[in-house]
Amino acid sequence: MKTDAYLDALGDVRRRQLLTALAEENPQLMDHRYAEDSETEEYRIQMHHVHLPKLADRDIIDWDRQTGQITKGPEFEAIRPLIECLRQETAEFPSQ
């Protein structure tokens, strides 16, 4: 995957938050519905129809639409250095 595609994948705060959480999770499995109680319906719709498909199509995540489970995809390790850089520099990279 090209650098531009990685930067595009990290170009939205919701995708950055999801990838950062996935990088921190152990075991490497999460359910994208974790935010349903605290987030708006619009957020859930955007995640389901925009952000998760974008990351899944680029093989950064594997997303089971039936169960909502997300795991690291084949390209996750290639994008990890950018995720780690963002995590280390959060003060310089505002979340919104």
**Consecutive 10-residue runs of the chain (96 residues): their mean pLDDT?**
85 88 68 55 84 94 87 93 82 52
Give Cα 42 to chain centroid, integer Å.
17
The reported pLDDT for the residue numbered 92 is: 55
The DSSP letter of residue 33 is G
Structural domain boundaries in the chain? 3-88
The reported pLDDT for the residue numbered 58 is: 93
* CATH fit for domain 3-88, picks 1.10.3470, 1.20.120, 1.10.530, 1.10.10: 1.10.10
The reported pLDDT for the residue numbered 77 is: 93
The reported pLDDT for the residue numbered 40 is: 77
In the chain, which residue ranges form alpha helices assigned H by DSSP?
A: 3-9, 13-24, 41-46, 52-57, 76-88
